[in-house]
Structure formats: structure tokens, C-alpha cells
Structure 1
Amino acid sequence: MSKTVGDFVVRRLQDWDVRHLFGYPGDGINGVFGALNRAEGKIDFIQARHEEMAAFMACAYAKFSGRLGVCIATSGPGASHLITGLYDALLDHQPVLAIVGQQARNALGGQYQQELDLVSMFKDVASAYVAQASSPAQVRHLIDRAARIALARRTVTALILPNDLQEEDYEDPPRAHGTLRSGVGYTPPRIVPAEADLERAADILNAGKKVAMLVGAGALGATNEVTSVADRLSAGCAKALLGKAVVPDDLPWVTGSIGLLGTEPSYDLMMECDTLLMIGSAFPYSEFLPKEGQARGVQVDIDAGMLSIRFPMEMGLVGDAGETLRALLPRLKQKSDGSWRKTIEHNVRTWWKTLQDRAHQPAKPVNPQRVTWELSPRIPDRAIITSDSGSCANWFARDLKMRPGLIASLSGGLASMGAAVPYAIAAKYAAPDRPVIALVGDGAMQMNNMAELITVAKYWRDWSDHRWIVCVFNNEDLNQVTWEQRIINADPKFEASQRIPNVSYSRFADLIGLRGIYVDDPAQLGSAWDQALASDIPVVLEVKTDPEVPPLPPHITLEQAKNFSIALAKGDPNEVGVIRGAARQLLETVLPGREK
């Protein structure tokens, strides 16, 4: 049998070191799936329950492996379903290639079934490169360019293959005018700022007496360099959510997360510093950074387009985080561990004690903070932790202590619900020997994550380490939005939009061959985590948590206090529980007549 275009696509992906494809089949992409079958497992296909989940998996695979993530879907709705997960990759700067089918070339333009203008549809999310193939000889350079651009620019690309083209005999492009003969391969360059720029940045940092650092996903892999610079400058270091694993939380000057989901020490660090060093972060909330004019700024980022868009930096350094910090370090003068560092370390110690106290406050029935607090000391070495968006992300951000060797991520720039379980599945293909833990709210589970437990049931026996746990915070509430309604919009909880059905996630796990554990007593949490982590099959740990434990921001403004009071005055459906929960979490300062 002659080699088809579909066969060539699979072989070329192999040449680009692609070993996993996440997706869902359909007649628009059958030619490539037939080729995958003929390739006899040289590329492993992982069948998601929905194309959106496949795109999340491709994004997470890129995050956890450092390789190109690839998702594949059929034409029409299969292609359109990928979009949300692809935006997750775009906003978190991950290299992902989407391969989608299209209707036969002769039918295009005739309003054929499942015919969509896919080039236009993908033009935003895959703005760096999207192309539709029209001839066999064209496919070679389309794959090569899509893969290389995704890797080089750390972005999303898309390749559209009409279904009839996939079945045609493949031919290399002829050596003729109007043809291209492309090649395979990409090695990241060494990008370091100019010497003069490094000197100028060092002068700014050396002049500072109270240096604050903020690290994001761009600093992953530069832990040693970040630590050395922080010690040289006697700085404190806050972490954006995607940078949670950059530096471990046992370092006394690491203040933890920043922003609405952040910590008081991080807030104080930014409000009191005179110099800010930001490394590889696109943290969006400028109100949590120093006030303009308060501090001088230096920023390091591989993408010049990200420089000085959150804070007016005095010096922007375009370069790889690790390489740039190594070049910068010899130019930095050693600062003494004076009152600034001592204040930071005192604030951090006090904060961890505060979190411990909050986690152990009584609740009805389980305090959600206690869930992650009990997990922290039990996290296995080399574990990968994923979190969904929503109130569970607060407890992931604040209460979970990172150690060296741990990896953690979530949907950052997009902050999409429904990413934690597909992320956790992809983690097992990026690193099958690592234990994986996902933290998920019940809203995300009902939205799309329950179905992906079926994917786990299908594949878990293939994983070398069977430790895979999803912890569901079951509070029957879309909790983050409920509290946003109260604090930001001055409205009481809207039952029609916020209350969700009570579902037995643990029993569903049992039903499909996984292990379910249910907890509604805080005293059982520790042993439940121990059982889950010791299980030889994947586990759904369902915890019945209290929706009235507020996800406190690190600083309560007067406007937030007034809004909360107004919301209560309007008549919240669970007013007594809201007041009880807020007071127990030291939120009494936002009640009427009190200001902070």
C-alpha cells in the first residue's frame, strides 16, 4: 500500500518527537486515525471524553513535559470544541499544535454539513500560525512550520486537513519553482540581555534598601538562580499562581501567593518595598503591586511584549530567567540581613500560624482550608498537583506548601473551570512515574470533569505509578462567584445561579471501577488522605465542605467591607451562616461599623 498523506502526518509528528496525541475521533479526521492505527503505537493516542478536555490535556502535557502538546479532532463541532483548551495554552504561553479535519475540498464553499470556516475560527487562538492544506506536497512544510513556531514562540498553532486530502497518496514537493522543502528540528536559543542593560539593572537593584521579588511560570527551572539573587539582595519573594513551584515554601523569606488569592505577607511586601524585581510573570492585578512612584522596577521576561505592562519598570531585560539571573548575579552587591529581611521572615512565620488557626476553625461540616492543610505534609515526593479555578484555588494558593521537586499548575491566564482533571490525566503521560493530585470544586466536576474520570478508568492500568487522586470540594455552591457577588457587587447570594445539585462523586468513582472515599468529619481528613495516597487504584476523595468559609483576600478594603454589609442588609439566603463563617475567619472587621 502506498503511503497516504495521513501516514506522512503521523510519521512527521514522530520526527518532531511527538509521542502522545490527545483527542477524539470523527469522520473528518479518519485518514489520520487510520494512519495512527497503522503506526502500531509509535504515537500513543489518548481518547478524551470531549475535545475541550483534549486541548486542556495538550496544554498540561506541554507544561509538565516541556515538549510540544498535540491535540486532534474532527471537523465542525470537533474543531470548535477545542477552542477553550487552546486559549488556555495561548494565555499560559504553552507550545500546542491542534490538528483538525475539514470537509472535502470539492465541497468547501457549498454550506456542506459540518463545514466551518476553520481558518477564520482559529485565527485568534492560533494567530501565530494557522493553515489549511490543499495538496499533498504542501503538508510537509505546514507541519514543520506549525511545530517549530509553536515551540519557538511558546504558543498555539493549528493545521487543518480536508478529509479527502488525508487519503491521497503522499508525494514530497517537487524540486520546482513555487514549492518548499522544509526540515525538522528546533533547539531553544540562549537569550541573555546586553551587558549594558545588565549593568543598569544591577545599579537599580543595588540601590534598593527594601527589595521585593515576584516570580511566575517563566522562572520555573530557575530555582537556584532565584534563590541566589534573593539571598544576595536580602529580598522577599512572592509567587504568582503559575510560579507556585518556583521556590519552596520552607524558605523563610518566601511570602507565598500574591493577589486576590494571595497572602498578607505578599501584600505587605509589595506595599512596603522600594524596589521590585519581577521574573517571568504576567501577574495581571496591578493593584497588588507597589504604587507607581513608590518603587523602582526591573523586569526579566523572554517576551519583550510582556515588559512594563503591569508596572512601569525602569529597566526591562529580555532573556531567559535562569540565564539572565546568572549573568546578573555577579553584578549584585551583597546586602546585609537587616530589618527588611527580618520583617519579612517574621510576617511569614506569623502568616503560617494564622493559616493553621483558620484551617482548624470549626465549620459545617468541614472547613475547606483544612483539606489542603492536611494534604500539605502528606504530599509524596515528586508529586504533581493540579487545581481548578474557583474557591478551591484559594486553598491551593495559600495552604499548600511547596517542597523541592514538586510540580503544580492550573489554568492561569484563562482561569477556566474544568481544567484540573484533564491536567491531572495529562500529567500521567508527561511523567507516568509521578503521583498526581487534583483539587477540584463540585461545580467543575459537574461541568465536565466527572466524564473525564471515565478516561482515568480506561487508562490507569497503563501508568507505572497508580497514585492518582482527585479531591472534590462538595459544597453545593459555585462558591467563588457567590463570595464575589457579596464582596464585589454588594449583592446577596443568588440561589438560582449559585446553588448546584448534590452529587455523590465518591459513589460515581466506585461505579466506574475507581475508589471512592467520602469525608464529612474533619477528624477523618488525615486518615482519608493517607488511604487515598496508599491506594493501588485511582481515588476520588469527596469532602463535604462548608460554603460559608470565605476565601479572604489578603487585604480588606473599605469598599469591600461596605459591599459585604450591604449584601447582608439585602437579605442573604444564609445570613446566619455567612456571618458565622466570616467571623470565624477573622472577617469581623468587615461587619457594619468596622473599618480597616
Structure 2
Amino acid sequence: MSETVADYLLERLRDWGVEQVFAYPGDGINGIVAAFGKAGNRPVFIQARHEEMAAFEAVGYAKFSGQVGVCVATSGPGAIHLLNGLYDAKLDHVPVVAVVGQTARTARGGSYQQEVDLQALFKDVASEYLVQVDVPEQLPNALDRAIRTAVARQAPTVVIIPADVQELPYSPPKHEFKHVPSSPPSDPVSIAVPAEAELVRAAELVNAGERVAILVGQGARGASDEVRALADLTGGGVAKALLGKDVLSDELPYVTGSIGLLGTRPSYEMMRDCDTLVIVGSNFPYSQFLPEYGKARAVQIDVDGRNMGLRYPVESTLLGDSGGTLRALLPLVRRKEDRSWRAKVERDVEQWWDVMAKQAAVAADPVNPMRIVSELSARVPEDAIVTADSGSAVNWYARQLRMRGTMRGSLSGTLATMGAAVPYAIGAKFAHPDRPVVALVGDGAMQMNGLAELLTLARYRHLWADQRCVVCVFHNNDLNQVTWELRGMGGAPKFEESQSLPEFDYAGFARGIGLEGIAVDDPDDLGPAWDRALTADLPVVLDVRCDPDIPPIPPHATFDQLKSVTEAVLRGDPDAWDVVVKGLWTKSREFLG
């Protein structure tokens, strides 16, 4: 039997070291599905419950492995379903390759079943590289370039292969006119470093400052040692964009935590009061949380020149790899002997963690959601991977979870889509099958798609050396983040028809599909429940009934925002009394200590 295009596709993926693809079948990829059978399921076909989940799993795998994630979907609706996950990859700068089926060439243009203009569909999300393979000789170059581009540009790419092309006999490109060859898979390593003159200018700017603030994003992940060295030399503090939460340990006394709407008061005050800002590998978009224009001089280090000066007026731009650039910069930076700024930052950080502990201890009905993450933070393994979903749960992930050791964490940072945490966790388990994983998920996200994807978790858990994967559900029967946004931004009361969720037994569902389910409705049971979940020998759903009226008030909440919440209450919010009492009491912990 001759080798088909689909057979060669899988062979080439194996050559690239791809061990699994996240996918869902359909007749537009029948040739590829058949090839998996002939290849002994190598790479492993991981069947998600929905193509969107397959894309998210590829994103999660790529985020936590540092390797390209691969997803496969059929034509028409399958291809359309990939879009949300691929946009998540695009906006968070993650290397993902999607292989997509298409209507047979003989039927194209005839309004055939599932015929969709995929070139138009993917034009924006795969703007770095999008190609349709129409003849077998195209395939090596198309696939290789898609992978290389995804890695080089940290972006999603798409390869479209029509159904009939998948089943054609494979023939390689020839050494002749209008054929394009390719090269064997490779993993080139290069470290770009700015010119000496640019480094000297940046060092002069940093040396002139007295109150240095460092902001790190996910682009600094491979430069944690260098960031610590810079902080030590300058006596500065380090704030973390949400996607860079795992760059530095929160046990370092000068790490001020997250920045922005979900950030901490020490980060807010450090940015407000600093005179020098060093941005390392971050494209944090909310400039209102950075120093006021003109009050701080800034240096930016980024591997992508398109990001330079995009968020803040910077005087020195260092185009290069974060680690290599900092290693070249550090010998030029003088150690600051005056440590009064550092001392202030460390006092603020210490007080903040004390405030977080007291806020988590505020009485609630039945469980304070902050306590859920506070109890996790006290006992999470140092090699754990934590994913968080969009919604109010991300507030507690951002503020209450203390990173330490080799912990990793991520979420849909820029797209901020609901429903990513569970498939991210599955992707993380395939990236690191020997490490525990925790997903922090609101009940809205669980009802949207997390419940179905628990079936995927149950199906493939036997492939992982360490089966610990805890899906913690913040069970409050409310689309809580939007409820608070209605109150805080528009002064509108909670609208029950849009915000209230149907009741569901998440722990019972988990037990019904062969996982462990633990239900908690007493705050005193929360710690032991985490202990049990984190030491289980199979995945666990931790179903915690928590109070929807504990407000995710930013540490820098403005008078207008607090006024809007009050107005919402006065306009007939159904939870008015709890909102006022618990909101004021929680906020008071910040000021009263």
C-alpha cells in the first residue's frame, strides 16, 4: 500500500517530535483519521469533546511545555469551532499549529455540504502563516513552515488539507521549476542581544534612578535569575503581569504580585511612586496602572520590536531575548547603596499578605471564595501547575495564590475567554504527566464546557504517571464577575435572568464518570478537602459552595466605583444587604489590619 499524503503528514509530525494531537474527527479529515490507525496511533490522537476544547488543550500544552501544540479538526463546523482557542493562542503569543480538513477540490465552488471559505475564516487568526495544500508536493514545506513560523513568531498557524488530497499517494517535491523543497526538522537556538551602545544608554538610565520598579511578563520566564539580580542591584521591587505570575516566587519579599485591575496594592503603589520603570518581556495593556506619564523614565526589553513603546513612553528600547539582554546589561548596572525604597516595598508586601489572610478569614455564607485559594496556597505542591478560568475566580488566583518553587500558572490572559481552565489543565497533564495540576473554575465556565471535558480527563488519565488533577469549582450559582461589573461599572443591580445559574451537583457528576468528587459547604472542611484532593491517586472535582456576595474590589478601587456599587444596591439589587455588609467588612481588613 502506497504512502498517502495523510500518512506522510503524521510521519512528519513524528519527525518534529509531536507526541500527541488534540482533535475531534469528521469526514473532512477521514484520510487523516485513517492514517492514525495505520500508524499505530502515533502521534496519539487525543479526542476532545469539542474542537474548541481541542484547540485550548493545544494552547495549554504549548504554554506549559514550551513546545508547539497541534490540533486537528474537520472542515466546516469543525474548523469554525477551533477559532476561539486559536485566538487565545494568537493573543497570548503561543505556538499552535492547526491542521484542518476541507471539502474535496472537485466539489469546491458548488455550495457543497460544509463548504466554508477557510482562507477567509482563518485569515486574521493565522495571519502569520496560512496555507492550503492542493498537491502532495506542497506538504513538507507547508507543514514545516507552519511549525517553524509558529515557534518563531509565537503564534497560531493553519494548514488546510482538502479531503481528497489527504488520500492521494504522497510524492515529495522535485528538484525542478516551481517546486519548493523543505529541510529536516530542527530546533535552532539563538539569543539576540542589543548593541553595546543601547545597553550603555539603558544602564545610564537605570543607574540614575532612585526608586526602580520592574515589571515582568511571560517573556521574562526564562530570565528569572537575571531579574532577581537586577532587582538586587537596583534595590527595586518586581510586579508581575498576570501572564507572568509564575516568573518569580511570591516568597521573595520584594515581589509585589500582580498588577492591574486584578492586582495588589503594593504593585499599584510601587508604580505610582517609582521614578524608573524597567519592563521585561511584558505587553501589559492597561497603561493607567503604570506610572503617570512624565513621572518615570523607562527601559523596555522585548524580543518583538512591535511591542516597543506600545504601552508606556520609553526612553531606551532593548530589542532582544530577556535573559541574554539582562546578562549583558547587568555588568553595567551599579549597585544602589540606599535601600530605603526596597525597605518600603518589602514592608508593603508583608502588610499585603497579612491583609490577604485576614480578607480570606472574613465570615461568609457558606464559604468565602478567597479562602478557597488561600487554603490551596498554604498546601499546593511546589511543582504544581495551576490554571485559572475567566470570571471572579481569577481575582482570587491573582491575589491569593502564592507562587513558589517551580510552580507554573496560566490562564486566557488577553482574550480572557471563559472555559479555558479545564482544557488547559488537560494540556498541562500531557506536557508534564508527572506533575500535579489544579484548575480553578467558576461554575459558569464549568456549565459552559468544563463538565463535558471532564470526560476527556477521565478517559486519558491512565496515560499520566501522576494522575493528580484537581478541578476546583467555585459553586455560587452566579455569573459572578459580570454581576460585579454591572454593579461597579454601571451602577446596575444584579439581573437575575442573565446572572443566575441552574443548580448542579459537580462532585456527583465527577463520581458518576469514575473520578473522585468532594463537596464542601463548611469553611472548616475546606483545608482537609484540599489535603484529600492533592493526595488522591486519580483526578478530583472539588465542589465548593461559596458566597457570591464577597466582592472582588480592586485594591485601588475609586470613589466612583464604590459609588456605583452603592447605587446598584439602592436600585433594588436582590443581594443588597449582603453586598453592603460583606463588601465594607472585606475592604476594611485592608485599612484596619
Give the structure-1-normalised TM-score: 0.98
Q: Which residue of 1 aligns with 2:4?
A: 4
Q: What residue in structure 2 maps to residue 499 of structure 1?
A: 500
Partner of 2:63: 63
Assess if the C-alpha contact under 8 Å between 1:151 and 1:186 holds in 2. Answer: no
The 10-residue stretch of structure 1 (35-44 or 492-501) with the greater mean CA deviation from structure 2: 35-44
Q: 2:565 — aligned with what?
A: 564
- The 5-angstrom pairing of residues 131-150 of structure 1 reads 131-150=131-150
CA deviations over 1:358-413 (Å, ceiling 9, x no partner): 00000000000000100112111311111001110010000001002111111111
Aligned AA (1:63)? K
In the aligned structure 2, how far is the partner of 1:502 from the partner of 1:343?
Answer: 47
- Asked if the contact 2:127/2:157 (under 8 Å) is kept, the reply is yes
Q: Is the 8 A contact 1:355 1:399 kept in 2?
A: yes
Shift of 1:313: 0.8
Amino acid at match of 1:426: G
Task: Name the residue aligned to 1:424.
Answer: 425
Displacement of 1:337 after TM fit?
A: 4.8
How far the C-alpha of 1:174 sits from its partner, in A, is 2.0
Aligned to 1:390: 391
Q: Distance in 1 between matches of 2:187 and 2:261?
A: 38
Q: Which amino acid aligns with 2:77?
A: P
Letter in 2 for 1:361: V
Q: Secondary structure at the match of 2:542?
A: strand
Task: Answer yes or no: is the 8 Å Cα contact 2:359–2:589 preserved in 1.
Answer: no
Q: CA deviation at 1:588?
A: 10
Rounded Cα–Cα distance in structure 1 between residues aligned with 2:305 and 2:17: 29
SS in 2 for 1:585: helix
SS of the residue corresponding to residue 550 of structure 2 reads coil
Q: Which whole-Å CA distance do the structure 2 matches of 1:173 and 1:224 have between them?
A: 46
Asked if 1:36 is matched to 2:36, the reply is yes
Cα deviation, 1:461-505, whole Å, max 9, x if unaligned, reads: 121001110000001111111111111111111111111111110
Aligned AA for 1:347? D
Structure 2 unaligned runs (5+)?
none
Aligned pair in 2 of structure 1 residues 337, 464: CA closer, same or farther (>3 Å)? farther
Whole-angstrom CA distance in 2 between matches of 1:337 and 1:12? 58
Paired position in structure 2 for 1:193:
194
Return the alpha-carbon distance in structure 2 between the equivalents of residues 244 and 527 of structure 1: 27
| Deviating more after overlay: 36-45 vs 119-128 | 36-45
Retained in 1: the 8 A contact 2:506–2:541? yes
What is the aligned partner in structure 2 of residue 254 from structure 1?
255
Letter in 1 for 2:243: L
Which residue of 2 is the match for residue 75 of structure 1?
75
- 1:416 shift after superposition: 0.8
2:369 matched residue in structure 1: 368
How far apart are residue 189 of structure 1 and its match? 2.0
Tell me the residue number matched to 1:224.
225
Corresponding residue for residue 538 of structure 1: 539
1:468 is matched with 469
Deviation digits for residues 125-182 of structure 1, max 9, x if unmatched?
A: 0001101111111112111111111111111100000001100100111221111111
SS of alignment partner, residue 220 of structure 1: helix
Equivalent AA in structure 2 for residue 237 of structure 1 = V
Q: Is the 8 A contact 2:103 2:162 kept in 1?
A: yes
Cα separation, partners in 2 of 1:589 and 1:373, compared to 1, 3 Å: closer
Q: How does 1:13-412 map to 2 (within 5 A)?
A: 13-183=13-183, 184-412=185-413
Cα displacement (A) at 1:587: 5.8
| 8 A contact 1:366–1:546 mirrored in 2 | yes
Distance apart, 1:558 and its partner CA: 2.1
Gaps of 5+ in 1: 591-596
SS in structure 1 of the partner of residue 222 of structure 2: coil
AA partner of residue 357 (structure 1): K
Structure 1 Cα separation of the partners of residues 559 and 66 of structure 2:
44
Q: In structure 1, how many angstroms separate the alpha carbons of the residues matched to 2:154 and 2:457? A: 28
On the 8 A contact 1:94/1:155 being kept in 2, the answer is: yes
Tell me the CA shift for residue 338 of structure 1: 2.1
Q: CA RMSD in A?
A: 1.2
Q: Distance in 2 between matches of 1:143 and 1:536?
A: 39
The alpha carbon displacement at 1:319 in A equals: 0.8
Counterpart of 1:486 in 2: which secondary structure? helix
Query: Across the two proteins, how many residue pairs are aligned to each other?
Result: 590
Q: Distance in 1 between matches of 2:580 and 2:401?
A: 26
Deviation at 1:571, TM superposition (A): 1.5
Distance in 1, matches of 2:257 and 2:211, equals: 18
- Whether the aligned pair in 2 keeps the contact of 1:236 and 1:253 (CA below 8 Å) is yes
| Paired position in structure 2 for 1:529 | 530
What is the alpha-carbon distance in structure 1 between the residues aligned to residue 424 and residue 585 of structure 2? 34
Which runs of 4 or more aligned residues in structure 1 lie more than 4 Å from their structure 2 counterparts after TM superposition?
587-590
Could you say which residue in structure 2 is the equivalent of 1:593? none
Contact 1:57 1:422 in 2 (8 A): yes
3-state DSSP of counterpart to 2:71:
strand
Instruction: Give % identity.
Output: 55
**Quick one: distance in 2 between partners of 1:35 and 1:548?**
53
The one-letter amino acid of 2:107's match is A
